[in-house]
């Protein structure tokens, strides 16, 4: 599986792709962070690459749906984790309910990877990027290499019954370099952010944001290259009624 994932990574930049970051908030500040890397529409290219791999010429997968639960990965690495400092052990413990799904269905031309990470408060959401990277690092079943598709950034959040604020404080230098190296391809990748709140929205500072039909969600979409070049695009404030 790992080899198959690494084989398709170069193709991601040669076709249309959408990365969706979707966050659901509850009134107490807890919620769920979701990320979906959707490569549907390119299963034909995937099949051609697999055929060139001598290990899979006669057994290319036509359909699979793999769910990876962090609790299982944690259990396999438990001995190593227990030797880490207490702070890092607590960090991994906070990932116990995280999940990753890898889906391919050639008949339906579907291919995507999803991440689901619950958080108990706004502070846990702030290090979700670190959690994604650690999830990939510990997973032995094939997600290593997907780090390049996850925009790495450090974000601070504020959330209460009056407002929500998202502020980027730093972008990873390595990610910025990748943006310049593959600029023409990254323009084809759309990055979408959807934030669901338990309150009605009064105003959003991001000028191109759209509101959901329920009046409680914000939708923002932009080319990935623009996002990586200008961190300020990720800064916005939502005011509630």
Q: What are 78-92's pLDDT values in tens digits?
A: 888 889 898 888 888
pTM of structure:
0.76
Residues in contact with 23: Cβ distance below 8 Å, sequence separation at least 6, in sequence order: 31, 32, 33, 34, 125, 194, 195, 196
> Which residues have CB under 8 Å from 138's CB, separation 6+?
70, 73, 74, 77
Residues 169-221: tens digit of each pLDDT:
765 554 444 445 556 666 678 889 999 999 999 999 998 899 999 999 999 99
| Cβ-based burial of 125 (10 A; exposed 0-12, middle 13-18, buried ≥19) | buried
Selected residue with higher pLDDT from 184 and 155: 155
Q: Are β-strands 189-196 and 17-25 bridged in parallel, bridged antiparallel, or unpaired?
A: parallel
Residue 28: helix, strand or coil by DSSP? Answer: coil
What residues does each domain of the chain span? 1-150, 151-241
Specify the residue for token string 């070049």: 229
Where residue 40 falls among pLDDT bands split at 50, 70, 90?
A: confident
Question: In Å, what is the CA distance from 161 to each residue of 31, 121, 175, 194, 238?
Answer: 15, 14, 34, 18, 11
Q: How confident is the model over 125-145, as a mean pLDDT? A: 66
């Amino acid at each position: 599986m790992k080899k198959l994932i690494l084989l398709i990574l170069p193709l991601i930049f040669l076709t249309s792709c959408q990365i969706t970051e979707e966050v659901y908030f509850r009134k107490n500040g807890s919620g769920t962070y979701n990320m979906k890397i959707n490569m549907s529409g390119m299963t034909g290219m995937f099949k051609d690459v697999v055929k060139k791999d001598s290990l899979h010429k006669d057994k290319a997968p036509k359909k699979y749906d793999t769910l990876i639960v962090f609790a299982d990965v944690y259990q396999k690495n438990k001995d190593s984790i227990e030797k880490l400092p207490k702070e890092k052990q607590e960090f991994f413990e906070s990932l116990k309910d995280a999940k990753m799904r890898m889906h391919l269905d050639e008949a339906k031309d579907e291919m995507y990877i999803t991440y689901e990470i619950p958080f108990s408060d706004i502070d846990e959401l702030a290090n979700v990027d670190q959690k994604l990277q650690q999830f990939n690092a510990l997973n032995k079943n094939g997600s290593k290499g997907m780090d390049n598709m996850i925009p790495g950034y450090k974000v601070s959040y504020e959330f209460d019954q009056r407002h929500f604020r998202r502020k980027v404080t730093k972008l990873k230098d390595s990610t910025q370099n990748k943006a310049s190296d593959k600029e023409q391809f990254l323009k084809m990748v759309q990055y979408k952010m959807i934030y669901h709140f338990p309150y009605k929205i009064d105003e959003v500072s991001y000028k191109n944001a759209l509101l959901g039909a329920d009046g409680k969600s914000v939708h923002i979409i932009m080319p990935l290259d623009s996002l990586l070049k200008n961190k300020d695009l990720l800064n916005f404030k939502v005011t509630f009624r």
